[in-house]
Structure 1
């Protein structure tokens, strides 16, 4: 058996983070060492409740859950309940967890776990980078203590989804994103953070047929066909994980439809989670990434220097190509097979 990828996962658990967590729990080649919670899609307290609920449902009740910052380093907190629902998980009604969170903060969890396991842990960040930035302030050597970092965030040569030029996770806390990218200019070649940005993740489109396939693989009945004509309908799926994911994804698809993008859902975070386990799933372009903090119209915009204009070391391997349907085949088979056992 190949060795498992050991991960610190940092989330702002909304709908796509939820599927990412289930995917990691379902993956035999993943070991989730800790999950850190940060404010983003919803406030930190709700992120924590969502995270605990999903981990409990997936049988990961022993995984450390560390609570992080209540807001960005500088800016007021933005949340996005219009996209992810008032509780961050669409129409899903998750069971409440009774277990306690970690006694250490998310930033301390990042630092102490990396020190205890030098060169062994992959960091996966699917929300704002606040916790990671705070961890870097505590331990500037963190970039070389970690095996690698995978980030879902940013937008390069592609429209933003929060402002005309900025992506949500970076737009929520641009200062933290800049601190992270600046810090990772010190890593050796070949260990640059992998960045899964909007230009690629908006091609990871989940459609109703994917949700139906998930039910079929898991043996859940009935196999439901999501439709914009059934706004707000609750799933009757017999398999709990499928039922809750269906209720979450329906809300997400309704949001995208209202934005004129079609009845679909961009699954940014599950793709980043898959890349953390299987980097070969994507092709990459090295670049030096920085973040605009002061632009009147462009605050939160990520800028990639691919030609060396800044005379700075590359600090990102930007994922630029993948096979979306091959990804969904892998995702649905992994999650569906796992869901059948829960």
Structure 2
């Protein structure tokens, strides 16, 4: 049986990489891609998602319009890293039009798809968690019908990439992250910011990976140029990533969801999100002292099979 996925994305460069990895996996069926504000405004996210599907000849996959702003927080984007359009500011004049979008909205689509496939769908969340928070508000039983939830977001060591202590996806909608970590009691796996930095891709691999003579590789090389240049800058390496290489954040959550034995070390702990701190709003909190009294614990990824990760990235551009 194929692994059934819903992908929730704010399609920037790493989302595109993650989606292409899933599309290339022979044992994966993508039931839908729901779009959310995040790396770039929602209209760009929708266009970018369709661009990725087009280059992979998979415009048959349904794409849904989701939330354009956070529940309560101020809207913010990551244009300095992903480009103002979210895909490296290299527009495609022949990009698919938004008339290809489904009529149903993202949260309603999630609920319907999972209701039709109870216990079979894995939700891979690579954006601010607004769509997921809305879905559980509309249907409180939605999380228990999921097979699993994989999240790229949050942090473990108070090391931020947007605020001093906050990772972008959680900071972009802290209330949504709080709701999801509180109410989604299905098996939950989290690829945090520091984890992805510590498992970053060597630059020599990136040169080889993007050097393939295929249409997909040419597309990926073009959209990745801006973010890779940014990631290689001295200030960025020092302040943000620990300087280890290229960090395709969302792809870690995706590969964990679809590749058996990819995660070689993890840790189970109850988690929540700080909503009120002057410096720590949006920071993920790990409850080692068990003061939250939560029965549900999330699995926090620690180490991965890097060779498997590289191979799946290579396969995605063939």
What is the TM-score normalised by the length of structure 2?
Answer: 0.92
Q: Secondary structure at the match of 2:301?
A: strand
Contact kept, 8 Å, 2:199 with 2:303, in 1: the verdict is: no
1:175 corresponding residue in structure 2:
175
Post-superposition CA distance 1:10-42 (Å, at most 9, x none): 000001001011111111111110000000000
Equivalent of 2:246, from 265, 274, 299? 265
Post-superposition CA distance 1:298-339 (Å, at most 9, x none): 10010011342322113311111223344213322x213xx3
How far apart in 1 are the matches of 2:301 and 2:71? 27
Contact kept, 8 Å, 1:92 with 1:244, in 2: the verdict is: no
1:210 corresponding residue in structure 2:
205
> Is 1:194 the counterpart of 2:189 in the alignment?
yes
Count, aligned residues: 309
Equivalent of 1:93, from 88, 91, 95? 91
Q: Secondary structure at the match of 2:144?
A: helix
Per the TM alignment, residue 251 of structure 1 is displaced from its structure 2 partner at its CA by 0.9
Alignment of 1:1-342 (within 5 A): 3-94=1-92, 95-98=94-97, 99-185=99-185, 187=186, 192-215=187-210, 218=212, 220=213, 239-258=214-233, 259-261=235-237, 262=243, 264-282=245-263, 283-332=265-314, 334-336=315-317, 339=318
Runs of 4+ displaced beyond 6 Å: none
How far apart in 1 are the matches of 2:21 and 2:268? 27
Post-superposition CA distance 1:70-102 (Å, at most 9, x none): 100011210110010011111443441035201
Aligned-CA RMSD value: 1.7
What is the TM-score normalised by the length of structure 1?
Answer: 0.86
How far apart in 2 are the matches of 1:39 and 1:315? 27
Contact kept, 8 Å, 2:4 with 2:31, in 1: the verdict is: yes
Q: Secondary structure at the match of 1:206?
A: coil
How far apart in 1 are the matches of 2:17 and 2:197? 16
Gaps of 5+ in 2: 238-242
How far apart in 2 are the matches of 1:210 and 1:92? 23
How far apart in 1 are the matches of 2:215 and 2:281? 41
1:226 corresponding residue in structure 2:
none
Q: 1:328 to 1:244 in 2, by over 3 A?
A: same
Contact kept, 8 Å, 2:201 with 2:245, in 1: the verdict is: yes
Q: Secondary structure at the match of 2:80?
A: helix
Post-superposition CA distance 1:236-269 (Å, at most 9, x none): xxx2211121122221121123333159421111
How far apart in 1 are the matches of 2:145 and 2:115? 7
Q: Secondary structure at the match of 2:261?
A: helix
Per the TM alignment, residue 163 of structure 1 is displaced from its structure 2 partner at its CA by 1.1
Contact kept, 8 Å, 1:204 with 1:271, in 2: the verdict is: no
How far apart in 2 are the matches of 1:210 and 1:13? 23
How far apart in 1 are the matches of 2:278 and 2:193? 22
Per the TM alignment, residue 45 of structure 1 is displaced from its structure 2 partner at its CA by 0.5
| Range 151-160 or range 323-332, more displaced | 323-332
Post-superposition CA distance 1:96-154 (Å, at most 9, x none): 10352011100101111111111110000001000011000011111111111100000
Post-superposition CA distance 1:261-316 (Å, at most 9, x none): 15942111111110010252112211111111111111001001134232211331
